[in-house]
Every structure is written in structure tokens, then in C-alpha cells.
A and B are shown apart, each in its own frame.
Chain A
Amino acid sequence: MIQVEHMNKTFKVARRSAGFLEAMKALFRRESETIHALSDISFFIGDGEMVGYIGPNGAGKSSTIKILSGILTPDNGTCIINGRIPWKERKEHVKDIGVVFGQRTQLWWDVPIIDSYELLKDIYEIPTQTYKENLEELTRLLSLEELLKTPARQLSLGQRMRCEIAASLLHSPKILFLDEPTIGLDAVSKLAVREFIRNQNKRHNTTVLITTHDMQDIEALADRVLLIGKGTLLLDGSLDDLMNHRPKEDATLDEIIATLYRDYDI
């Protein structure tokens, strides 16, 4: 259960401008500006929901994920996940969540995947029995048998993403955050990943929050969509609600989003 109420987050960012003179000026004085990454965000996600979190680059998606996973503290507002405030009870909280960053890896580059998993078992203090069961199930569902003995650096992107997702689920988290999990994957891998996530949700009632630019991900995975732009929550509804905004009858999801962006001026 994720409950977010009136959450705000601002950043100070140093401004850098091009040109020789500007660079010289910046030597002595650097201007900074305040960016409202999130302003007054509120939403509620129940157990076992699958929610797509969409919005253009820099809309505040990553900030939200970081706050929900306890990495960042918001300026104000409340956020309670499974009865805990993420950034206050970080260690307990992160045992409950799994996070996949599509563009980063948590696997050790040079050692076989299974070694990374064994280490995660110790880091999360997963009971041996649970670990065995989970590993066995994940290996079967994500067809990892042949990959487990291979170092991460020798895997293709798709193979690595499968291993990555398994790594985030070894400790049986109740909530799964996926930050662009299908980025850069080929069609077959994308389908496999989506299929798996759907399954995981059904089997274990795992709550899934997924950020993506891939509209097929949303169509395939999300029962509900949160649309964020310039730090503000613009739409919270079902896929159908999103469809109601379509500009013409046969518009694709991509076009709808583009229209929405235009309508809301983001």
C-alpha cells in the first residue's frame, strides 16, 4: 500500500551556459535556479495494483521513485508505504521493495550471476529455504539456467535485464519499482519481461509501479496510469480514461500522450 499526500520536492541546479565569456564569468559567479521537481503530488496505490507512471523526461518520475524507495527525502508532504515512512525507516523499508533501474546494473560485472545472487542473499539476510525457492522459480520463469554461470559482462542486454529483474525479486519484495525496464531491449526480450511482470503480479500479488516511455509497456502492464508533467500530477485514471483524451478515433496511445502533453502545455 502506497499513500502519498501533498508531496513537494525542489532542487537547486547550477546553470551553465555556452561560450567562452560565459565560461569565464562562471569562474567567479555561478547562478543557480530552483526547479520544482514535484509539486503537491498525491496518490494512493493499493496492494497488488499495477500502475504505469508516465511523463516526459524531467517530469519528476525518477524523483518520485527515489522518494518512494527511501533514497530521497521530500521537502514536505507525507508518504507512507506499508505503514512506514521510507526515508525514516530506510533499512526496514527497502527489504520490502525491489527496484530495477533500466539503465544501471546491480550485478557484478566480472563474476558469474549466481555469485551476485549469493551476495544479495547475505545482504538481505534471505533465509536459505526462501532463497532456494525464489531462485528456482525465477530461474524457471525467466529461463536463467544457462545464464547463472556467466559473468554479467558477457550477457546481452536482454539477458542481463532478465537477471537484473530476478536480482530485485530474490528477497520477495511486496512492491516492485521498475524504472524503464524495457529500454533498449529487442522485441523478444520486451515480451518476455512484460509476460514475467504480469505473472509476478498475479502469483504473488506484487504491487508494481512502472515508469516507461514505451506505450506498449503501459498497454500490456498497467491497469491504471499516472501522468505527470512538470512535477504536477495531470491524470490519475484507468487506461480507458487516458483513451478518452484521444484526439481522433484511431489514435494510438503515443498520439494520445502527445496530445495530452500539448493540452497541458508540458
Chain B
Amino acid sequence: MKKYGSFFRIRFINGLQYRMAALSGMTTQFMWGIMEILLFRAFYQASPDSFPMTFQALSSYIWLQQAFLALYLIWFWESQLFDSITNGDVAYELCRPIRLYNMWFVRGMAVRLSKATLRCFPVLFFAWLLPSPYGLTLPDNWNTWFFTLLAMTLAFLLVVAFGMIVYMSVFYTISSQGVKLLASSVSEFLGGSVIPLPFLPDKIRGVVNMLPFASAQNVPFRIFGGDLVGKEMYLSLLMQCFWLTVFLLIGRAMERRALKRVVIQGG
């Protein structure tokens, strides 16, 4: 555990050095949020009845999305890992007394978390100051808080686990670019980064909800805004657990087979 701790600290300090980058990153996120909300406001005014969720819930969704971008954005790749597989440096990692999958999993978590902790609080704070229904509205009961946090954790692990599958797939394809691009663009839309999933036509939404990407940011952000409640919420949480397990199993199986191949081929 200790080595993972120091690992995290190095990344964190490293991140702090780029204060201009962090500052302008936050500005960007904040502006993005405002533009998104203005955009949806126009649609809301065009036809309030067609709006699939309350405007308040939408605002919360958007602000959480902006604040926790680093946690849930799939295409937040670490090129170093890709490179280490392609050029064979990964062999060094295999000499360490830690399982590669666990090492990289923690690394993925650390990088994302350090980036997010640097940037989320100011964005959340400013969003909270904004007038209703454009700002971040806090839930009034502990249940919602609890389930949001639970779903956030599950979604975070899911995203990291999916990233692991993408990293592992490079063992089999050599060129990481194609996998990266496909994974990025597909997950972006199906995860609700382009437009929140409730805005999709009902038929399509039925299918998309079953897919793993709907179990990422979609779940916690909608729980927080009160859009996802009751039976549907429990179902979504179950789906999150299901997909997380599946991703973990697939990723670890891919790792085992890949390493066997590396060992047999002699690196």
C-alpha cells in the first residue's frame, strides 16, 4: 500500500507545478458548463414538454460532468503506457514484484484522481453559487448523497477498468492508435458526454442503457440531480457492478494471456 501512496504523492506534486495549466483548465471547464447550460436552456424554451428531465437535474449533471472530467473522460490516455507496450519497455515492469494489472490500475486511478482533485472544487463551488435552476443544486437527503458517492466510485472504477482493457488490447494489436480512437469516440457518445443519455430517442435509449458506457458518469450524475430514483436507480447500480466485474475479469484475463505470450516470445 505504501508504494502506491508515494506513487500518488509524486503525481500530485507533479500536477501542482502546472498552476497555469490547472487554472486555465478550471476556467475552461467553467465556461464549458455555462455554454452547455445556455444551450440546453434554448432547447428548453423551444419546447419545455420535450425536455426529458427537470432543468435543475440537467444543470447538476452538466456541472458534475465538468468538475469530474478527469475522472470519467475515457480518452484520458497515458501515452507512456501505450509506448511501453509497443517498444517493449513493459518487460521492466514485469520484473517488479507487483502484478502489472494492479500496478497500472492504481496508476490510472492516481493520475485521474490527482487531476480531478486539483480542478473539481473551484468548479463545484462556483456552480453552487449560481442561481437555481442553472447552478448545482445539492440533494436534501443523505440517501441521495450516499448513492451518488457509491455510484461515482463504481463509475470511476469502471472507467479505469475499461482503460485497462484498452491498454491490454495493445499487446494484441501493436498499433494502439486505432483501438484508442474507436474506444474514445464510441464511449464518448454512448457514455453521455455529448448529450446526456435521457435526450436520446426512447428506442435507442433502451439499448444504450444496457451497454456498459451508460454505467459510467450517467448513473451518479443523474442520481445526484434526482433524475434517477427508486427501482431504476437500484437497477442502474446493479448494472454498474455487473459491468465492473465483467471489465475486471476481461482485463485480467487479457493481461494473463498477453504476459504469457510476452514470456514465450522472450519479450
| Chain A residues close to B by CB (< 8 Å) | 16, 20, 23-24, 26-27
| Known contacts A23-B16, A27-B16; 10 further A-B pairs (Cβ under 8 A) | A16-B17, A20-B9, A20-B13, A23-B13, A23-B17, A24-B16, A26-B16, A26-B17, A26-B19, A27-B19
CB contact list, B1-44 vs A, under 8 A? 9, 13, 16-17, 19
Closest to B13 in A: A23
Closest to A28 in B: B19
Closest to A19 in B: B13
- Interface size, B (range): under 10
What A residues does B13 contact at CB under 8 A? 20, 23
In the docked arrangement, what's the CA distance between A232 and B19, Å?
A: 35
In the docked arrangement, what's the CA distance between A13 and B67, Å?
A: 33
In the docked arrangement, what's the CA distance between A257 and B196, Å?
A: 68
User: What are 12 A-B residue pairs whose CB atoms fall within 8 Å in the complex?
Assistant: A16-B17, A20-B9, A20-B13, A23-B13, A23-B16, A23-B17, A24-B16, A26-B16, A26-B17, A26-B19, A27-B16, A27-B19
A128 to chain B, nearest CB (A): 41
What B residues does A20 contact at CB under 8 A? 9, 13
What B residues does A16 contact at CB under 8 A? 17
What B residues does A24 contact at CB under 8 A? 16
In the docked arrangement, what's the CA distance between A33 and B9, Å?
A: 28
B145 to chain A, nearest CB (A): 29
In the docked arrangement, what's the CA distance between A26 and B16, Å?
A: 9
Of all A-B residue pairs in the complex, the 5 with the closest CB atoms, nearest first, are A23-B16, A27-B19, A23-B13, A20-B13, A27-B16
A122 to chain B, nearest CB (A): 33
B162 to chain A, nearest CB (A): 31
What A residues does B9 contact at CB under 8 A? 20
A184 to chain B, nearest CB (A): 20
B110 to chain A, nearest CB (A): 15
In the docked arrangement, what's the CA distance between A66 and B60, Å?
A: 54
B24 to chain A, nearest CB (A): 14
What A residues does B19 contact at CB under 8 A? 26-27
